[in-house]
Structure 1
Amino acid sequence: MKKIFYYSLVFLLVLNSFQGYSQTKFKGVVKDDREKLSLFGALVSIKADGTSSVDQASVDFDGSFQVITTKTFGTVEISMNGFITKSIPFYGKGDESTIDLGVIYLEENTVTERDIIVTTSSIDVIKDRKTPISSSTMRNYEMREKASNKDFIELTSQMPGVYTSRVGGGYGDTRMNVRGFEQNNISPMIDGIPVYDLEAGIVDWANIASMNDVASSIQLQRGLGASKLVNSSVAGTMNMILRNANYDKGGFLYNSTGNDGYRKFVGSYATGLLQSGFSANVLLSLTSGDGYVKSTNFEAYSYYIALGFKKKKHDFQFKVFGSPQWHNQRVSDIALSTYIERGNGVDDPNYKYNSDWGYLNNEEYATKVNFGHKPLGIFQWDINFTDKTQLSAKLYGSKGTSGSTNFSGGILGLSWDYFVDANGQVDLNTINSFNSGEPTDLPFYGVVTRSENYNGQYINSIWNGDQGNGFVSTDTGISLLSEITNQTFYGGIINLSTQLTNNLKLNYGLDARKTVYNKTRIVNDLFGADGYDPDYYTTPSFSLNTNNTALPEPLLDFTKKNLGATPVDYKYDAKIAYLGSYAQIEYDIWKLNFLAQGGFNRQFIQRVNYSLGNYAESNPGSDVYDIDNNTSNATSELPIDGYNAKFGVNFNVTSKHNVWANAGFVSRQPVFVTVYSGLNNNVNPYYKNEKFKSIEVGYGFRSRSISLNISAYSSDHKDAETPYYSPEDGNFGTTSGINRVNRGIELDITVAPIRRLILNGTLSLGDWKYSSNAIFYDLRPGSTTPVSTLYINDHKIGGAPQLMASFGADYEFFKNFRFGSNIKYADKMYASPSLERYDPAFYGDDFAFKSPVRLPSFAVVDAFASYRFRINVTNFIDLRLNIDNVLNRKYISESNTSYQTNGVDPSDVNGATFNENGNIYNGIAGGNNAFFGLGRTWNFTVRYEF
């Protein structure tokens, strides 16, 4: 595949040979028509066919510009946010002439789309000084410049209210938090299509990690968002807009290198809109590296193909985007004291330490791997009946697979601490020896030899634990399995947009979708055993040299020959279908813009269980997969309704000042794993819709040198639910009645005080806390305490800083050479332990009634330098160096535990506290699990544009 990739890049380069070199130079000055001030930053474009730009230049601080083109006819287009675009036609011979256009005055227009222009009504974007919603936008060139070797989602950390964490540091594993809400409350959308996981409520960034290469822009709409669909968003909508096939003609080759073996190659070419009406846009990329954290290697490919046809009233777009990838991960919990132990042992933690790998037969072996490929296909047909009425129809579909590896099984009931070598890595050789019946020296037990457990063979099985039926797995062997999701979804959106009067615009549409998630497990590695039997259970036994009796006898002889070919342990389908409708009204009068939107959808949820075997027949609470009895058992379709409504108003006080407000509510259906409470067809009796209410007000200011936005919000989120899951037990419990209030203020400002200097800053101040106690329901059969109160009322919500600020500067020292830096500061961030930890019956009063630990504040400095030079009139080379965390600051990016410094240290057999043991790091108890932010990283990029 790599050869195909490189040949494709060469092909793209050859296309560059078909370029012309005769040129015409246009120059002039751009000013506004009222105050006669220079419009610094206005864009001057040469358009040869009326749509696609072939040459561009930005207006300098004094208002002057010059742009060179090889085209002999077309238009010169001058555009700027907040002003009406002006077009000047030209026709010449291309004989090295210079045309002075003089002073060009642009008329102010308070109703323009800010940063994003779309031609279809099925994609919802914020319109500056009109749409009453808080938003931030990244355009393609900004993503291209700032991406470095970050995950693209990390670029949003410069937006107010947004916090991102690399979590374990794996490729595509970045976690995003908006206004104190976890990312499962954010709705990611590609070209207006929701890509939120309806089965588990997760957001999978890894499989769209190359989005910054193919998107024309990404807009984060905070709060209610502008989407007309009844989607999953309560905290914000991430609107990722793909490039159309008729994107500007031209292409580029991109080569990047960075720390820890980072490499990236990208090639792209677009035909622009041809006279025949056809167009095409193609992109290929390859990204790989060793990973900043130890054993987090990765490799990802990406492809994007867009084909278009535009003629008169019709515009057809067909797009296919995919990104097959695999990456090693760090997902296991690591205590601060362990980081220090693997560092200098005193006070300097090794924040690259990763416990999720080891050596097997002297070769490095990663035990946590994520992989997947879930391509998305889109067909869009826009019919412009008139200038005021458009019908947009969109069909889409995806079919792919994703998964991740996990250990399963056990040895003599020992914890994982017994299978860690002297270097802190997984002792795979010991596991392999035990599984295969070789003598193994284990702590506490001494030399142990596993006995054959079926027909003279060593058969691994699932770790059963105590299910209340008297069976406890103590020597089931340890296997490496993959949890696999085979995903299929398809749907459509149809939207009618019509301008009923000069002041009134209506959008009405239907949204339908069918999704099937097929969930199962496969075996990756038996580590020396002869087979795997998901039906095998052992009785409690401490007689180590006596064969344990399988109850019942194994039904599946899963040999090494079919590793990965057969589903094991469980297999089921999660089916979710929905049909929704919506309406949106925009009414403009005088200086006022009104927006009202409402929608309703009904989901149909069904579970199809293929996990019926002999053991399951005699134990109805179990779902052990039996390949010899692959029958299905389907539930009836469970209908659940959801709806939303929102209203907003914007008032343009003057041409520079505007104020706005919005309010709304959402009733969101629970995700599939909340409705079905385990690896069976039983329905969770406690599920209910989540309720979300929000009100927000804002102010905006625009002038020739300042752009400022400030907003205040208050959000009430009620009846949220968190399921607790294990691969063996399914959702063994659930926390219901999670209520919270998130309030805050956000500010962003951009200033151009002098020529060539741009300053920007953001400020986010939040007050996020739980507004009631919650309830934990233990759903396991025979539980002695099925209901517990979790004392979280008035506790701070963790996972993101409640105070964030950033300041950046970008200065052009001389023509085409720029240098910039940005500092990010974070404070008032709290740990985010699982809420069931606040149950005093299980975890004690010391933990349950105390607020989460406040983590140390931190500041991180990033910097860049870039230079562009011209090869000829149409070809450029861009050079850019990005350095993130320049000062190599070590900081805790998140923690999922909340041990107090005066609490008992679990590692101390005498019950001493963390303080008494000196087990403290930066004011935090050393027993707390944590992930560190990445230290200094760098990236150097060469981009050839033609």
Structure 2
Amino acid sequence: MKKLTYYSLIFFLILNLFQGYSQTKFKGAVKDDKEKLSLFGALVSIKADGTTAVDQVSVDFDGTFKVTTTKTFGTVEISMNGFITKSIPFYGKGDESTVDLGVIYLEENSVTERDIIVTTSSIDVIKDRKTPISSSTMRNYEMREKASNKDFIELTSQMPGVYTSRVGGGYGDTRMNVRGFEQNNISPMIDGIPVYDLEAGIVDWANIASMNDVASSIQLQRGLGASKLVNSSVAGTMNMILRDANYDKGGFLYNSVGNDGYKKFVGSFATGLLQSGFSANILLSSTSGDGYVNSTNFEAYSYYIALGFKKKKHDFQFKVFGSPQWHNQRVSDIALSTYIERGNGVDEPNYKYNRDWGYLDNEQNATKVNFGHKPLGIFQWDINFTDKTQLSAKLYGSKGTSGSTDFSGGILGSSAQDITDVNGQIDLTFISQYNSDTLDPDPTSVYNRDPNYIDGNGNEFYINSPYAGAYIDSNDNTVYTYDSGITLLSEITNQTFYGGILNLSTQLTDNFKLNYGLDARKTVYNKTRIVNNLFGADGYDLDFSSTPSYSLNTNNTALPEPLFDFTKKNLGATPVDYKYDAKIAYLGSYAQIEYDIWKLNFLAQGGFNRQFIQRVNYSLGNYAESNPGSGVYDIDNNTSESTSELSIDGYNAKFGVNFNVTAKHNLWANAGFVSRPPVFVTVFSGLNNDINPNYKNEKFKSIEIGYGFRSRSISLNISAYSSDHKDAETPYYSPEQGNFGTTSGINRVNRGVELDVTAAPMRRLILKGTLSLGDWKYSSNATFYDLLPGSTTPVSTLYIKDHKIGGAPQLMASMSASYEFFKNFNLGTNLKYSDKMYASPSLERYDPNFIVYKENATFFKNPILLPDFTVVDAFASYRFRINVVNYIDLRLNVDNIFNRKYISESNSSYEVDSPDPTTFDVATLSGPSFRDNGNVYRGLAGGNNAFFGLGRTWNFTVRYEF
């Protein structure tokens, strides 16, 4: 028996010896079985025992692969996310032969990635070499690796035509610019559901800042996009696709630390599709930190629950995603000279300086805080009547709250931001003493404050007010807006929306496919203000009355007390200043056809919707005692006034064609137009129900052509676009004055060229590059309407024609490299260069009626050009296996590794030879320039407001997969 064991051992050793010194080579191509498109990135694995991969390669850009193994028997396994894995057994002789497996067709997997099928109905995703649209895609693993401690939206900055800025540096405050268009011209969608703010036209990334944890992929479609819905997209459509409940079985734990106290923990588990047809996918995360910029602390959580059931032709998905968060912000304008003053005082700015906080009672208080929680629920039912016809029904809804804090009022002609201590922070102690008249008594001090109200017992009360103008208090004193004390208020938006999308997708013939659908939605934004902190005052003038008609005493008050406790999310406090509902509903229909013939793919879309908007204004009333002497106040006497329902139509049409010249070359083109209804605040933008008489639909026209190339080692896309945007309008609003002005007739032309290249010149090395060249400018002058009563110049021409559009670089280039030094250990770097970025001042600077420095013709020049800059990021990652199914990933990201200091944006445009306002003589309308005063930083006038990009940041992550 021992001899048998001995000889058996010798036999297997010899067998392994021969196997170790012989090789078998396999080659072939991988394509999908429907459209016969190459599946770049598919994984080809050699498995000897049926489970463990001993050799692996990825399919090249042209769909081909070559793999070599020392094994003489086993299986060749071809797999790709979204397709059914195919296995091919082999038994080789180990004679250096090459086995040609030919073309291997993979069948789309309707279980693990059913969304790929549904994209033709409820989620629209670009298909390479078929859909004639410019696009870039981030898959979950890419977001997981690159997110670092950035906002997830910053990951798009490596896409052509995209610029992102952290603005003030707060968590989730990153803004995005695509092809020179601000992000209010981008249509963000979660699982095909638009999440664009219809009331204010803004995009709120902060409340979906954990999207990179729960999305299976994010695709940016630049230009008109492929979405069938009649949405607001012209610059691009951001499709964020959530994981389905029947995602692959398994889970992970993720822990991350970084600079400035950054901490993140994520846990996730998915059951996969069970035999019963049920499935579940759950994720929880928490993120917190102190922030790179001073006093930009933040705390955020996220949760995601997906439940599914699949039975024969029916597939049900129920998903809930939410991300409650709060974060301190840096919002106030800061001049370059102020950054330097808070730095070394000569030439080195304090890039982290933040004015929007201060100390009160020896405790740090942030005065600009953003907070919110707006969960989204989705129920989706897909019925596959046949393999060619599918009906997709999607219901969704959200109910949540968001808000931010801001100051109201002033002290003797100064706003709160002007009242700072020796460290440049807002002097909350001084504000509190002024509000309560507890400053050191000095009969000659201008800061002595008279009481606003004296009751029958002689008690004195100090009442803050935001009133825009002047009023007479109970002592017959005239009280002005910036003389009435400072209060911190919170602007609260309670949002409710619900809707549905019904889509029928049918393959009428082998070459002709039709999508038809209905889209309906109802949205209500309830907006108000509440008192956050009176800073020592006794009360707040709720109704802007000329004389407060309510009584106050030390025991009972008509004012909201304890006011607003942010930490407890006490959002039920009494409304002040205003309260209104913005009601928006729409009903739309659309159709899309796809026709394939020979090497041509045609795509046509059209849609129409009717939007219904209505404003309900609530009168807050006087907070008088309902029973005098009882101390009981009537705070429920609000009345409301509603406008009639106003209907506005919107529509779009798009057409595109793709021509696959050969297996490597393709050409495409698209064109279209969009008529977009104005957002709510453009129609009703005041503190009353008055309608803006000048509102009109915005019009977009776009044309784009492109070329694609695919080979074994390179993938290239190049496109050229021209977009015309007409009849845009910008309302100017303050909570005290409502809509005090509006700029109409803003017309612009954005043209440019984009290039992206991915290359694999050698094994283990991947290179990527992008280039974006733009020419973005205004195509006509605009008109400013001053809506304040008694205005002497109610209408002004703004001379902006042919001026450059600022806010993003018109020249951007990036290069990245990733190299696998040894198995599963990668080092990489990314470089991005930005140039030709102009400031983005308010267009009203081009109004000759508002110019103080009459002799300064620079007010009619292009905005100033900001300095160019280059930012370099780097990373190192290593993955090691614990056993067959468990892995640990280690990753270190260092962003801006050379700590480059650069200006990421500016909203003002003083030239160095412009008069310096700090030394300007109003009487003679003259004075020394910024250059004369030496008030210059890197060739820019020191009076320009600016935000700096973040310096060096780092993040280290450990991820355990099971």
One fold, TM greater than 0.5?
yes
> What does residue 878 of structure 1 align with?
889
Q: Give yes or no for contact 1:440–1:449 (8 Å, CA) kept in 2.
A: no
Alignment counterpart, residue 801 of structure 1, candidates 809, 818, 840: 809
Distance 1:349 1:156, change over 3 A: same
* Aligned equivalents of 1:298, 1:919: Cα separation in 2: 35
Structure 1 296/116 Cα, relative in aligned 2: closer, same or farther at 3 Å? farther
Distance (whole Å) between structure 2 residues aligned to residue 444 and residue 675 of structure 1: 49
- Residue 106 in structure 1 maps to residue 117 in structure 2: no
Check if 1:118 corresponds to 2:113: no
In structure 1, the partner of 2:912 is: 901
Q: Pick one of 731, 737, 744 that aligns with 2:739.
A: 731
Superposition pairs of residues 413-424 of structure 1, within 5 angstroms: 413-416=413-416, 419-424=419-424
Report the AA paired with residue 103 of structure 2: L
Corresponding residue for residue 235 of structure 1: 235
Q: 1:848 to 1:467 in 2, by over 3 A?
A: farther
The match for 2:58 is 59
Structure 2 Cα separation of the partners of residues 177 and 322 of structure 1: 25
Q: Which residue of 2 aligns with 1:545?
A: none
Q: Which runs of 5+ in 1 are unaligned?
A: 1-25, 48-52, 92-99, 539-549, 617-624
Give deviations 1:810-833, integer Å, cap 9, x for gaps.
000000000000100000000001
Distance 1:468 1:784 in 2: 23
Contact kept? 1:692, 1:716, Cα under 8 Å = yes
Query: In 2, Cα distance between the equivalents of 1:111 and 1:592?
Result: 22
* 2:802 match: secondary structure: coil
1:619 match: none
Q: Any idea what SS the aligned residue of 2:932 has?
A: helix
1:448 deviates by: 1.9
Once the two structures are TM-superposed, the CA of residue 437 in structure 1 deviates from its matched residue by 2.0
Cα distance in 1 for partners of 2:575, 2:211 equals 32
> Secondary structure at 1:568's aligned position in 2?
strand
Which residue of structure 1 lines up, in the alignment, with residue 522 of structure 2? 514
Note closer, same or farther for the CA distance 1:419–1:280 as it changes in structure 2 (3 Å cut).
same
1:529 Cα deviation from its structure 2 partner: 1.5
Q: Distance in 2 between matches of 1:407 and 1:428?
A: 12
Query: 1:152: which partner in 2?
Result: 152
Shift in Å, 1:303: 0.2
Give the Cα separation in 1 of the matches to 2:705 and 2:685: 40
**1:681 & 1:334 partners in 2: Cα distance?**
35
Which residue, out of 664, 669, 676, partners 1:668? 676
Residues in 2 aligned to 1:921 and 1:127: alpha-carbon distance in whole angstroms:
48
Percent identity between the two aligned chains: 76
In structure 2, what is the equivalent of residue 941 of structure 1? 957
Matched positions, count: 882
Tell me by how many angstroms 1:418 deviates. Answer: 5.0
Structure 1 position 858 matched with structure 2 position 860: no
- Asked if the contact 2:471/2:480 (under 8 Å) is kept, the reply is no
Check the 8 A contact 1:481/1:523 in 2, yes or no: yes
Measure, in 1, the Cα distance between the counterparts of 2:347 and 2:233.
42
Deviations 1:207-262 (A, max 9, x none): 00000000000000000001000001111000000000001111000000000000
Q: Residue in 2 aligned with 1:352?
A: 352
In 2, the alpha carbon distance for the partners of 1:641 and 1:409 equals 40
Q: 1:915 aligns with which of 931, 935, 940?
A: 931
Q: Cα offset for 1:869?
A: 0.5
**Is the CA contact 2:677–2:696 (under 8 Å) kept in the aligned structure 1?**
yes
Residue in 2 that maps onto 1:188 = 188
Alpha-carbon separation, structure 1, partners of 2:819 and 2:443? 62
| Structure 2 gaps, min length 5 | 1-22, 32-37, 91-96, 473-477, 565-570, 625-632, 922-926
Query: 1:115-514 to 2 correspondence within 5 Å?
Result: 118-120=116-118, 121-416=121-416, 419-439=419-439, 445-446=445-446, 448-455=448-455, 456-466=459-469, 472-514=480-522
For residues 296 and 425 of structure 1, the distance between their equivalents in structure 2, rounded to whole angstroms, comes to 14
How far is the alpha carbon of 1:533 from its aligned partner?
A: 2.5
Closer, same or farther: CA 66–42 of 1 in aligned 2, 3 Å: farther
Shift of 1:912: 1.1
Equivalents in 2 of 1:316, 1:252: separation in Å?
Answer: 25
The aligned residue for residue 88 of structure 1 is 87
Structure 2: distance between partners of 1:875 and 1:674 = 54
Give, in whole Å, the separation in 1 of the partners of 2:956 and 2:634: 53
Once the two structures are superposed, the pairs formed by residues 593-604 of structure 1 within 5 Å of their partners are 593-604=601-612
> Which residue does the alignment assign to 2:10?
none
Matching residue within 756, 764, 767 for 2:772: 764
1:122-170: per-residue Cα shift (whole Å, max 9, x none)? 1000010000000000000000000000000000000000000000000
Change (3 A) 1:664 1:536: closer
Q: Deviations over 1:748-787 (max 9, x none)?
A: 0000000100000000000000000000111222222211
Give the C-alpha shift of residue 67 in structure 1.
Answer: 14
8 A contact 1:40–1:704 mirrored in 2: no
Residue 356 of structure 1, CA deviation: 0.0
Cα 1:359–1:227 change in 2 (3 A) is: same
What do residues 364-403 of structure 1 show as CA deviations (whole Å, max 9, x unaligned)?
1100000000000000001000110000000000000000
**Counterpart-to-counterpart distance in 1, 2:949 and 2:754:** 24
> How far off is 1:473 after superposition?
2.6
Secondary structure of the residue aligned to 1:321 is strand
Q: Which amino acid aligns with 1:63?
A: K
SS across alignment from 2:813: strand
State the 1:85 CA deviation. Answer: 7.4
Instruction: Give runs of aligned pairs for residues 65-76 of structure 1, distance below 5 A.
Output: 76=77
Q: Is 1:566 equivalent to 2:569 in the alignment?
A: no
2:84–2:108 contact (8 Å) kept in structure 1 = no
Measured in 1, the distance between the counterparts of 2:444 and 2:178 equals 48
Task: Check 1:836–1:90 CA distance in 2 against 1; reply closer, same or farther (3 A cut).
Answer: same
- State the Cα distance separating 1:840 from its structure 2 match: 1.1
Residues in 2 aligned to 1:650 and 1:441: alpha-carbon distance in whole angstroms: 80
For the structure 1 residues 54 and 308, does the alpha-carbon distance in structure 2 shift closer, same or farther, using more than 3 Å as the test?
Answer: farther
Letter in 1 for 2:677: Q
Cα gap change, 1:27 to 1:659, in 2 (>3 Å): same
Would the aligned equivalents of 2:685 and 2:733 in 1 still touch at CA under 8 Å?
no
Contact 1:40 1:63 (8 Å CA) reproduced: no
Structure-to-structure mapping, 1:529-544, within 5 angstroms: 529-536=537-544
In 1: Cα distance, 2:842 partner to 2:882 partner:
57
Q: Specify the alignment match of 2:11 in structure 1.
A: none
Query: How much has 1:909 moved relative to structure 2?
Result: 4.3
Alignment partners' CA distance in 1, 2:743 and 2:605: 32
Counterpart Cα distance in 1 of 2:717 and 2:216: 23
Aligned letter for 1:593?
N
Counterpart check, 1:842 vs 2:841: no
Aligned to 1:10: none
Contact 1:30/1:103 (8 A) holds in 2: yes
What TM-score do the two structures reach when normalised by structure 1? Answer: 0.88
Aligned to 1:778: 786
For residues 415 and 153 of structure 1, what CA distance do their matches in structure 2 show? 33
Q: Secondary structure at the match of 1:915?
A: coil
Task: Give the CA deviation at 1:532.
Answer: 2.0
Distance in 1 of aligned mates of 2:208 and 2:938? 36
More displaced 10-residue stretch of structure 1: 848-857 or 335-344: 848-857
- Aligned pair in 2 of structure 1 residues 773, 65: CA closer, same or farther (>3 Å)? farther
Q: Secondary structure of 2:849's match?
A: helix
User: Where has structure 1 moved over 6 Å in runs of 4 or more?
Assistant: 53-56, 65-68, 108-113, 441-444, 467-471
The amino acid across from 2:611 in the alignment is Q
Partner secondary structure for residue 809 of structure 2: coil
SS of match in other structure, 2:918 = coil
Deviation at 1:733, TM superposition (A): 1.0
Greater shift, 404-413 or 553-562, is seen at 553-562
Amino acid at match of 2:102: Y
After superposition, what is the alpha-carbon deviation per residue over 1:811-863, rounded to whole angstroms, capped at 9, x for unaligned?
A: 00000000000100000000001111211111245353111000000000000
Q: Give distance in 2, aligned partners of 1:834 and 1:587.
A: 46
Given the alignment of the two structures, is residue 821 of structure 1 paired with residue 829 of structure 2, yes or no?
Answer: yes
Deviation at 1:305, TM superposition (A): 0.2
Q: Is contact 1:459-1:533 (8 Å) kept?
A: no
Provide, for residues 21-71 of structure 1, a one-character-per-residue CA deviation record: whole Å limited to 9, x for no partner: xxxxx997442389xxx9984324899xxxxx9999653887327899xxx
